[in-house]
Amino acid sequence: MKKLRRCIAVLLSSALISASFTGCGGKKVVTEHHQQTQISFSWWGNDTRNEYTLEAVRKFEELHPDIKVECSYSEWSGYEARSHVRMVSNTEADVMQINFGWLSDHSPDGKGYYDLEKQTDVLDLSTFSDEYLEYGRMNGVLNAVPIAMNTETIYINQTLYEKYGLDAPKTWDDYFAAAKVMQKDGVYPMAGAQKSIWLFLLAYAEQKNGKTLLNDDGSLRFEADDFQVMLEEYREMVEAKVIPQVEYFVRTEIDSSKYAGAIAWVSDAANYFSQRIEAGDNIVIGDYPNFDPEKSGEGWYAKPAQLYAVSKNTEQPREAAMLVDFLVNSREMALLQGVEKGIPLSSDAKKYMDEEGMLEGIQYEASQKMDANDGMMSMDSFLENADVIDVFMAECNEVLYDKASPETAAWKLYQAANKAME
């Protein structure tokens, strides 16, 4: 993680950035010329995201020389845990990039983050549809503004599939058929990280069970035997070499062609596949698998690709909201960010990108695939509940190594899901 320390000197007003900070709310910094308001901003991302976000902050400070932004950023690994610690200890940043599931984790009553509708004189919300803004509401309170929409997407290395004389998979059975051909070379037809595999298998179970995980009112619809379907399918896929065991998934193995496909978010497309594309491989957006090859999309969910929220503890809500507005609505940020997080939801940001011919590339194609899927449902934040997903993976391994029966493991997962509902 890059670390830069801000130095506010007598004659310097340029922004230098720190990877960690303390006292993150509303400090007044006195210079020789005038009083400046300091706010803090945190996010996670790779080097590309860090670089363009730092540049955006610099441009924001140029437009608002009375505001200084102290930045904190890192790779995703460990970020979520640190973020949760900061939230419970009230040391969070004034402005935060957050995941969708954190709204239910930290603000089930709508009081865990600042109400952004209190600052509509500096934060233009008219660029967002009511439908999109609803993703940022908890208990009727606008806790966050969504950046772009996201879904788990099937990415296929067409070059590798063609090497083995195979078409891109359309059904669950197609993956098993591909594994029989590829496993002699140690190649997996599909791969994914923990949350991706959870959602991948949830789609399988919802299709097989003929029902969704949750009822329309958000209550749990799955019973223990519904969860059992997911656990047993995980074991079958790992044993058949359809997917590597989650603990052994290494994203960089995509570059070594060990994975012929991967399930990943729209916003991760460039992160995952840029090197393969540069190497000349044909990476395509695959079909969402189904039992019926004529169907696609059942059991798949869309959600915001991160959101921006403001701390409930901020001492500078107006300045924080100004930064959020710049991040989601400005021409400067739109052109710097591009489609790295997906197609922006702000009508202004999308217009700026369209004017520059920037709505293209693999992430744009993945977004188009998502938008064209009539069966795509809106994701409830419960589907990203970290505690439930952790239990799911633990019980997958219990079943995989014959330490527990599928029935026993499924009952534990069902209990964990019910507990998370409390």
User: In this structure, which topology does domain 27-148+305-329 adopt according to CATH?
Assistant: D-Maltodextrin-Binding Protein; domain 2 (3.40.190)
Contact 366, 381 (CB under 8 A): no
DSSP string, 145-201: EE-BEEEEEEEEEHHHHHHTT-PPP-BHHHHHHHHHHHGGGT-BS----HHHHHHHH
The Cα 341–Cα 304 span in angstroms is: 10
H, E, C per residue of 272-318: HHHHHHHCCCCEEECCCCECCCCCCCCCCEEEECCEEEEECCCCCHH
Do the first three CATH levels of 27-148+305-329 and 151-303+373-421 match, i.e. the same topology?
A: yes
Q: Where does residue 16 rank: exposed (0-12), middle (13-18), buried (19+ CB within 10 A)?
A: middle
Q: Which residues of the chain have pLDDT under 50?
A: 1-33
Average model confidence (pLDDT) for the chain? Answer: 89
Measuring CA to CA, which residue among 307, 324, 304, 309 is closest to residue 367? 304
- pTM higher than 0.85, yes or no? no
SS3 69: strand
**Quick one: angle between helices 194-209 and 386-400, nearest 10?**
80
Q: Quote the pLDDT of residue 375.
A: 80
Residues listed for the chain: 422
Name the residue ranges covered by the structural domains of the chain. 27-148+305-329, 151-303+373-421
| Structural tokens at position 310 | 């403001």
Compute the radius of gyration of the chain from its Cα atoms: 22
| Structural tokens at position 90 | 């009230």
The Cα 235–Cα 245 span in angstroms is: 9
CATH of domain 151-303+373-421: 3.40.190.10
